[in-house]
Structure 1
Amino acid sequence: MGLKCIICETKFTTRTNLNKHMKNIHKLKPTTLCYDSDRSKWKNKCLEKGCNNSFRNNTDLINHLSESHDIKIESEEIEFVDKDEFLDWKSDIEKTFKSNYAITSGYSKDQPVTYYSCNRSGKIPSRGSFKRRGKIQGSCKLNSRCTSMIKLMEGTNKLSVTWVKTHYGHTTELEHLRISKTEKSIIASKLFSGVPPSRILDSYRNNIDEDDPYRENFITRKDILNIKNSLKKTKPSNLQENKRENKLPREVNKPVNLKKTLLSKIMNIRTKLRNKNISQLDDEVTILIEGHLDTIDELLDLPCTSSTSYCNLSDDEPALPAAKRRELKNSEIHESNFGESHVSHSATDDHSYFESSI
């Protein structure tokens, strides 16, 4: 028999019988269970040396730690205007305190209630012969529950939050934290814009603060490839539309005056750069811009085959071979801007002109 009363040490075969005994004989609520076998453990366990008590809920465990072991568990009451403000706050504390909270459950007769538990809480999953291989760093689960949690109560005009700040049963281990949704979105946008995974990886490794590292500083190539694979499974609707358009006959696609289009956009970009301090651009934006420029440069170096001949440099000019374009790139460029006077200067002069204009 694995269950016994902590007062009279009477043993029972089931938890129900023990609860009835506690209520009828000792006139107590059956909140504490002394365990001596795996099947009799409640998930909220005291992990202090020499104490083998487990508890039905988190509140009872917190009270036990405070009263019996003099462990202070801090909590905080907060109010928010709407759900977006709450989610922003939750994201901030997860990054600041290097933790993750996941929705577990919740209900109430009066108002909607949602419970968020520390992601370290829970049982370590079994690894049978037909299950997938375990993680190198091991499971993040504790085989017990951490005291830290968030209780969200949604009222009519406000959201009330009870946040138990103190974690119990584990230390801060970055390898067991998840990449935030915000960071995943940033990586996904870079991949979608053509930034190579190696450059994304370098941008995180170059910004590591050794005194106060974050989970994002330890992003691996595997993490980035996982996000890339998820993009393939969930393509945006505009990509599906573009894919459909590409299946139309070639005759429907009109030739593009690429040279005029490029010069038009260059003039527009030059105007924006003249009025903006480039040194103040965010690193993420800088990487995206560089990625776009590299992609354009690589595309212009591609040879024009018969399948792409409809996209000429101008309406009446044939597509030039890549070698010829590179030769022209280092020579003078002749083209008018929206039908106005011709501008002729070398690639080097063009670069210096941009710098003087900024």
Structure 2
Amino acid sequence: MRTCSDCFKTFSHAGDLRHHRQLYHQLEKRPPVHYFCYYCNFKTLYKYNLSKHVKAHLTQKRKKTRNNNVCSLCGTFECVDRKLMVDHYKSAHEVLLNEQTLNFNSWDQFLAWKLDTENAECCKFVMRDGKKQRERFIVSKYRCFRDGHFLAKGSGTRRLKLKGSCRINGICPASLTARKHLSSGAVSVRYIAAHVGHYAEIGRLNLTLEEKNEIAHKLAAGVPIGTILDSLRESINNGEVNRIHLTTRKDLWNIRNTLHLQNGSTLHADDRTSVEAWLSTG
């Protein structure tokens, strides 16, 4: 047993006695080192305690940013759970979700239906959280591409586009939940068609891979950007406007920069091979 010479308190280990003397009897000779929190007035003698304290600050900040869902229709109702917001849409605003259950013979048939639905409704369903495999099937969840909150990933020095982010900073109930059965390959889909909080805007959609392919071949062939834009505008038939007809110079610049045509370097000496190599990597 070790005994403190100042207060005669006993300890089993020498390290405990040394810690006790440094903490209670040698403060005047050796001032303790304090760790301070950057977010509040908290201070502690131990770095581990500060790490736990700061982690609590960051966790609370992330929860406040991610889970603060406000109703897109009334702007007064707030909740954390997505299901509660959907129930609020139905009860308070009488939104009809148009929920359907569809069955497909294969995954390719489901993807073809999904593409036709997106083209008809001027929307896009994106996968969230990846595919999850269960015992008898694989679950894939898709949500409206405008659902969710905009969270800046950079330092904030870049300005947003003039039309803003695609995210509505709220919840859009439109979704797809596809279950692919491992035994038969059949796909059952739970489809909610109602979109809330935004309009069907063609300009919010991205160019398809086929449309990018067509533009990339023209850029690789040396066709001027103005000529490409004029040909796209002239291709409008019977007043039916699609996303490719709204292509801007910025879209062409993005494709050209991705293809490395601006500085004269390509993925291959042959332009056609260079375009195909770029499309395969994208």
Instruction: Please classify the TM superposition score into its range, dividing by the shorter chain length.
Output: 0.5 to 0.7
Q: Is the contact made by 2:128 and 2:142 (CA closer than 8 Å) also made in structure 1?
A: yes
Identity %: 29
SS in 2 for 1:200: helix
User: Relative contact order (alpha carbons < 8 A, sep ≥ 6): 1 or 2 greater?
Assistant: 2
Q: Which residue, out of 213, 228, 231, partners 2:256?
A: 228
Match of 2:277 in 1: none
Distance 1:181 1:145, change over 3 A: farther
1:52 aligns with 2:69: no
Which residue pairs with 1:155 in the alignment? 181
> C-alpha deviations, 1:7-26, integer Å up to 9, x for none?
xxxxxxxxxxxxxxxxxxxx
In 1, Cα distance between equivalents of 2:188 and 2:246: 34
Secondary structure of 1:152's match?
strand
Find the counterpart in structure 2 of residue 293 from structure 1.
none
Amino acid at match of 1:184: K
CA spacing shift, 1:96–1:129, aligned 2, 3 Å = same
Choose which of 82, 91, 105 in structure 2 pairs with 1:67: 91
Contact map agreement 2:85 2:171 (CA 8 A) in 1:
no
Q: Of residues 104, 108, 131 in structure 1, which corresponds to 2:157?
A: 131
Letter of the 2:113 counterpart: W
Matched, 1:216 2:240: no
Secondary structure class of the residue paired with 1:229: helix
Distance in 2, matches of 1:95 and 1:45, equals: 29
Map 1:120-269 onto structure 2 (within 5 A).
120-126=146-152, 130-156=156-182, 157-208=185-236, 212-232=240-260, 239=270
| Aligned-partner residue type, residue 164 of structure 1 | I
* Bigger mean CA deviation after superposition, 216-225 or 179-188: 179-188
**Post-superposition offset of 1:55:** 4.7
Q: Which of 1 and 2 has greater Rg?
A: 1
Q: How far apart, in 1, do the equivalents of 2:208 and 2:180 lie?
A: 24
Q: Considering fraction of residues, name the structure with more helix.
A: 1
> CA–CA distance in 2 between the matches of 1:181 and 1:100?
14
The one-letter amino acid paired with 1:39 is: K
Question: Which whole-Å CA distance do the structure 2 matches of 1:179 and 1:158 have between them?
Answer: 30
- Equivalents in 2 of 1:55, 1:237: separation in Å? 50
CA 203–62 in structure 1, closer or farther in 2 if over 3 Å, else same: same
RMSD of aligned alpha carbons: 3.3
Hey, what's the Cα distance between the residues in 1 that align with 2:180 and 2:157?
39
Q: How many pairs align?
A: 204
Provide the C-alpha distance between the structure 2 equivalents of 1:127 and 1:205, rounded to a whole number of angstroms.
35
1:81 is aligned, of 94, 102, 105, to 105
Correspondence list, 1:273-284, <5 A: none
Q: Is the 8 A contact 1:151 1:162 kept in 2?
A: yes
Match for 2:126: what amino acid?
A
SS in 1 for 2:188: strand
* TM-score of the pair, normalised by structure 2: 0.61
**DSSP-derived class of the 1:186 partner:** helix
CA shift at 1:171, angstroms?
1.3
Partner Cα distance (2:232, 2:209) in 1: 16
Distance verdict in 2 for CA 1:210–1:66, change over 3 Å? farther
Q: Which runs of 4+ in 1 moved over 4 A?
A: 127-130, 209-212, 233-240
From 104, 112, 115, the equivalent of 1:91 is: 115
The correspondence of residues 264-343 of structure 1 with structure 2, limited to 5 A, is none
CA distance in 2, matches of 1:217, 1:40: 37
Q: Which amino acid aligns with 1:48?
A: L
TM-score, reference length from structure 1: 0.49
Find the aligned partners of 1:238 and 1:88 in 2 and give their Cα distance. 35
Looking at structure 2, the residues matched to 112 and 85 of structure 1 have their Cα atoms a distance apart, in angstroms, of 16
